[in-house]
Amino acid sequence: MSIAALKNLADNTWVNDPVSGTIHDAKGIKNNSFFVANMTYSGITIGLFTKAHDLREYEGKVVEINGSGIKKVTDDFNGNKTIKLSFGEKAVIKVLGNSQGRFGEIHGQTVGMAINNAIGLLKEACPKGKLKDYCSKGNFSADVAKIAGSIIKISKFLEEGNLDGYSKKVDDNFTADDLPEDEIQDAEEDEEF
């Protein structure tokens, strides 16, 4: 079951399908009498709560939680509602792999979209007839990667529910001024690419 589908379940519903994602922010509470963490998949995050499993062992790991005794609950703390998965000793945590970095899992279609948009931006920035020479230069790939990386960071930022605008804290390495205008302008005149 996806985390998005889990969020749509009624409160206090038993979860019979496996749920997977990356565990982060794991910690023991009250002398390690219980453990809490967050699990994220495709930019959607839920909380985890258990007395039976030390979630700190799974920090940064992509896991699947399956078995019996898994329940979706809503924690309402000072009016701030959070979706949590509560489970006990009958639940099994299976490690599927390591997280793909600080931005979590990044899917192939996200990368493809970012590359296509980066190339589109570079095409628009390139004067007519100079794109072919620019593309043959060694730094074209680096420019595409830099712009695509920024698009992915912004995409992940929005997927996490930050819909009020882009923040400099997401990607302070790229601005519109970073489009390689000087290199494009210096490219030799050539037929339209």
> Given a cut of 70, is residue 44 above it in pLDDT?
yes
Return d(Cα 103, Cα 154) in angstroms, integer.
10
Q: Would you say 140 and 130 are in contact if contact means Cβ atoms under 8 Å apart?
A: no
Range of the domain at 163: 108-186
Question: At 186, is the pLDDT very low, low, confident or very high (cuts 50, 70, 90)?
Answer: very low
Residues 7 and 92 reside in one and the same domain: yes
Q: Which of 1-5, 20-24, 153-157, 184-188 has the lowest mean pLDDT?
A: 184-188
Most confident of 54-63, 105-114, 125-134, 183-192: 54-63
Do both 162 and 126 map to the same domain? yes
More confident residue, 121 or 126: 121
Residues 140 and 168 in one domain: yes
- How many separate domains does the chain show? 2
CATH number for 19: 2.40.50.140
Q: Are residues 142 and 86 in the same domain?
A: no
Asked if residue 69 belongs to a domain, the reply is yes
Quick one: pLDDT at residue 81?
A: 80
Mean pLDDT of 74-80: 77
Last residue of a domain, one of 65, 98, 131: 98
Measure the CA angle with vertex 175, ends 182 and 122; round to 5°. Answer: 50
Nearest CA-CA partner of 48 in 65, 61, 33? 65
Average pLDDT, the chain: 78
pLDDT digits (tens, 9 = 90+) for 124-150: 877 777 777 777 765 777 888 888 888
